Amino acid sequence: MRCDSDLLERGFVMGRDLDTRFSQLLETIAKHENTTVEMLGKTFASNEIENRRTFYPQLKQVLSEQELNIAEFKKIITNCWASGSRFDIIQFGRFTKGEDAEVLIQTLIKDFPQDDAETAARIDAFTTEAVRLGYQDKKGSPNGSAAAALCSVLLTALFPERFVDYRQSRWRDFAQKAGYDISFPATGSYGQGIVWAGQFAADLAETRTFKRTWNVEYPLWAVAGIAWVLPGLKLGEINHMPGINEDDEITTLLRHKKQVILYGPPGTGKTYRANNYISHLNAHDHKEFVTFHPSFGYEDFIEGLRPLTTDDGTLTYRVEDGIFKTLSRRAFNVLAERAGIEGRWNESESIPHLDDTEKKELLKTAPEVPFYLIIDEINRGDISRIFGELITLLEGDKRYCGENEITTTLPYSKEKFAIPPNLYIIGTMNTADKSISLVDAALRRRFGFIEMMPDCSVLRSLPDDNDNEVEEIVDIATDALETINERITGNYDRDHQIGHSYLMKVRNAGSRDDALEMLRFAWYHEIIPLLQEYYYDAPTRFNEVIGSRFVKLSQDDRSFEIRERLYGDDFLMAVEALANGNREQGQAEPDE
């Protein structure tokens, strides 16, 4: 028998991770079925579940009688969908012809063991004997899987809290899609497979997500119904995350801070990383993207007054919600629905008042339905003006349901507002625009920060199918980028380096010509213009960085101009000279 410590360990391993992953699977199914997660409990696999609800109680009654009524037994098994295909029923007919079948069934169920190892051994013994009594395929070979399926049906009817009707491929597929962490037994034992499937189904049935969606008397029968329907859906890959997502650095900061800023020079992949982090979300309304700029204000972000002309020509003003307030309301309402709380945050109303019990439930459920706001170029806006009084509410303990919850009254609508606990903010910040040392102290205290600097190793990790000629150009481009960044760090600062993403298309090129063209485009249309911006008033330092093959200084060194563009191998040789650290090699002849 499993000891308490084993159960506690399994519970610890599964815990919230299984609940979160199953929730993600259901959201994927709901999107595929064009419905909601809540409706899945009423419609998804409903026929399979209903068939089990109808015939398993009948089967239990027949099996519990002192003498097995073979005719009734055969009738129930024939009508129970879990019994398998038409050919499985033919094998079942052969199995039940002789008296040995009844004896074998009684041997299986009498004094049934609680210990998993003993259970698996008894199932294997039944399967072996059932094969002898009639479970063979059309060629006469043993069909142990069909015999094991019959055994699982009998045990599911008798012990609905421990077993499910079993087909190995269906349960392994289901477990993989649900992100189940306990591996399928590698022994090849049907008994161990049936025990494992029962454990998986029981663990899944204990998750909060399942209980909310399928409120049924025999939950394992519902889990089995899902397992039977799931393989027929083309869901694609399910991306499972530990907690929130697999980017552990962002995840850790979001758990502690609720908001994080990715900062670094231009082109280091900050926006890509932020978008990639939330790419697992299927529901569009669980995420929003906004770019801050100097004219972006509180009225755009939280709420503001907008002019409205009535039918008679009168000019009036109405309060219009901004992107953050709108997303906060959506996040709260989805969270409340998931937690089984009736209160909703309707438009033009204050955030609902909940009692302590409801708030605890809301807080406990929050990690299951994360919402994200990505703020690109966050340092280009006036943070104090945009967030206003809400800057204090960003802190985790001051959010709705937090230990030190703060609810504020908004200035235009006069509504009570708080930030829900399941709303996370990911900002990106170019240090070339503003150094992190200049960021508002209030913002720095409330955000976690992750530095993202140029990473040339990303460029060097070429796809396996890339040819050597492309690799040669990538190596030259990467060496040149490293040289440029070393010089920028030396004569300017590290915040103005050039990011590796400018050269990613070179890395992904399919041929030498494509790679060279991609490099030339990035060089003349992205890298040089960026350097011109950095060094517009420092011509000699600009020349130190990129060399006189690409820039021409005036005679008094007080101005510069970009030299005529190079093409083909002439261009590549000039970049290679720069990559080698030799500013003069390949230098253009002075103009006459």
CA–chain centroid gap for 587, Å, is 51
- Which tokens go with 365? 């459920």
Over residues 464-480, mean pLDDT: 84
Using alpha carbons, select from 250, 260, 254, 256 the residue that is nearest to residue 443.
Answer: 260
Is the Cα dihedral 335, 337, 342, 348 positive or negative? positive
Helix (H, G, I), strand (E, B) or coil at 551: strand
Q: What's residue 242's pLDDT? A: 38
**Tens of pLDDT, residues 321-358:** 999 999 999 999 999 988 888 888 998 899 999 999 99
Q: What's residue 292's pLDDT? A: 95
- 245 pLDDT above the threshold of 70: no
Q: What's residue 280's pLDDT? A: 58
- 168 pLDDT above the threshold of 60: yes
DSSP class of 587: P
C-alpha triplet 414, 415, 418: angle, nearest 5°: 130
Distance CA 546, CA 483 (A): 9
The class (CATH top level) of 248-451 is alpha beta
Over residues 433-461, mean pLDDT: 82
Distance CA 496, CA 498 (A): 7
Q: What's residue 166's pLDDT? A: 94
Distance CA 575, CA 586 (A): 9
Q: What's residue 437's pLDDT? A: 63
**Tens of pLDDT, residues 190-228:** 999 999 999 999 999 999 889 989 989 999 999 999 999
Q: Widest CA span of the chain, in angstroms?
A: 113
What does the mean pLDDT of the chain come to?
87
121: left (phi over 0), alpha (psi -120 to 50) or beta: alpha
- 374 pLDDT above the threshold of 60: yes
Q: What's residue 464's pLDDT? A: 58
Distance CA 209, CA 226 (A): 14
- Break the chain into its structural domains and give their ranges: 4-232, 248-451, 456-579
- 244 pLDDT above the threshold of 50: no
- 368 pLDDT above the threshold of 90: no
Q: What's residue 465's pLDDT? A: 57
Q: What's residue 502's pLDDT? A: 94
C-alpha triplet 170, 176, 182: angle, nearest 5°: 105
Using alpha carbons, select from 284, 246, 248 the residue that is nearest to residue 27.
Answer: 284
- 584 pLDDT above the threshold of 70: no
- 9 pLDDT above the threshold of 60: no
Q: How many helices (H) and strands (E) does the chain have?
A: 26, 11
Residue 582 or 200, more confident: 200
Q: What's residue 434's pLDDT? A: 72
- 585 pLDDT above the threshold of 80: no
Over residues 516-541, mean pLDDT: 94
**Tens of pLDDT, residues 249-301:** 898 899 899 999 999 999 999 999 998 888 755 555 688 999 999 999 999 99
Using alpha carbons, select from 424, 482, 491, 492 the residue that is nearest to residue 453.
Answer: 482
User: Would you tell me how many other CB atoms lie within 10 Å of the CB of residue 202?
Assistant: 17
Global confidence as pTM: 0.63
Half-sphere exposure of 568 (CA within 13 A, CB side): 1
Token pair 């204050």 is found at 350
User: Would you tell me how many other CB atoms lie within 10 Å of the CB of residue 404?
Assistant: 9
- Which tokens go with 474? 């990538």
- Which tokens go with 80? 């129970």
Q: What's residue 308's pLDDT? A: 87
**Tens of pLDDT, residues 349-362:** 999 999 999 999 99
- 561 pLDDT above the threshold of 50: yes
Residue 73 or 510, more confident: 73
Over residues 353-380, mean pLDDT: 91
31-40, 112-121, 219-228: lowest mean pLDDT where? 31-40
